[in-house]
Structure 1
Amino acid sequence: MDRHKRTADIDSVFWQQWQEHQDYLYHCCIKWMGGNPTQAEDALSMAMLKAREKIQQSTKAIENFKAWLLKLTYNLCMDLFKQRTLYDLEVEDVDSVISNGVSQEESPILAAT
């Protein structure tokens, strides 16, 4: 079988299975993203792209597609959640510095001036 035909077959099977599990995955994403539907939609879109890419690169069949897809989506949601949590903490730190000010003792840059 030529490579183009194999890729088309893989895509066809992938999209069929993706659509079968998409609603379930979306509800899981909402739960994992703290109830935020916008973040859940972003996570689901990213999971779809990542799953399709991994399927195309894979040399062996996935035995339990739903479980594999659920694990991939969960891991992606956790990564996104961690990134957003770190970003929120960084923003809080900046806001704290702005509202409280920084003394010369706390900042080597201010102490050097």
Structure 2
Amino acid sequence: MMLVSRNSYLAVSNGTNPHVEFWGVWAEYNERVLSCCYKWLHNDSDQIEDAMALTREKAFHAYRNNIGCIENMFAWLCRIAHNVCMDIHRLSSKENDLVGIVSGSPSQFYFSENYSRTLESDYESRDLYQQLSHAINDLPNDLKQAIQYKFIYEMEYAEIAQRLQITPENVRKRVQLARKKLSALRAC
């Protein structure tokens, strides 16, 4: 590659690797492109970081394909960076518009709670489930059957009463007694 002026290159490849050539060009103009991005994105460092990464990626791919056509490297890199910054502005504007619409009429939109379980909560849930299973198995048979039918098989009191051949009131009492014994787990 032959240097014509400080800011322009003629693409006369001398057999060097385009990857290495690009990183040399990028290193030379990185700070100047960065200062342009600061201006275009109003000093928003997160957006600038994203813009520089996208610019670098797009410029690298375009450099490999257009190695002979680029006359002014700085202007070429600035054009790519400017386009990326404007894309980021458009995206940010769309997001702000959407936030404005949603905050203007929150009753029309449903937001689910963003909750992700931690490993500790998974472990605690599993541990509580095992304790509950053991406690149910340790109940007297009549209470165990009533609680299993009610909460595991989700049967109605009348259906449980028919199965156990007792009155629905007795089923309710057995479930109440079983829940009372199992509630001791919650206190632990």
TM (normalized to structure 2)? 0.47
- In the alignment, does 2:95 pair up with 1:62? no
| Rg larger in structure | 2
CA distance in 2, matches of 1:91, 1:17: 40
Distance 1:63 1:10 in 2: 16
Q: Report the Cα distance in structure 2 between the residues aligned to 1:47 and 1:29, rounded to whole angstroms.
A: 10
CA distance in 2, matches of 1:48, 1:19: 11
Shift of 1:57: 2.1
Does 1:50 pair with 2:50? Answer: no
Q: Partner residue of 1:32?
A: 40
Q: Kindly indicate which of the two structures has a greater share of residues assigned to helix.
A: 1
- CA deviation vs aligned residue, 1:17-51 (integer Å, no higher than 9, x gap): 10111111111111111210111111001100000
Q: Once the two structures are aligned, what percentage of the paired residues are identical?
A: 28
Question: Is 1:20 aligned to 2:28, yes or no?
Answer: yes
Compared with structure 1, are the counterparts of its residues 63 and 25 closer, same or farther at alpha carbon in structure 2 (3 Å cutoff)? same
* Residue 84 of structure 2 is aligned to residue 76 of structure 1: yes
**Can you give the 5+ residue segments of structure 1 that lack an aligned partner in the other structure?**
1-5, 103-113
Taking only aligned residues, the RMSD between alpha carbons, in angstroms, comes to 1.6
Q: TM-score, normalised by structure 1?
A: 0.76
Q: How many residues align?
A: 94
Please identify runs of 4+ aligned residues in structure 1 that moved more than 3 A.
none
Unaligned runs of 5+ in 2: 1-14, 109-188
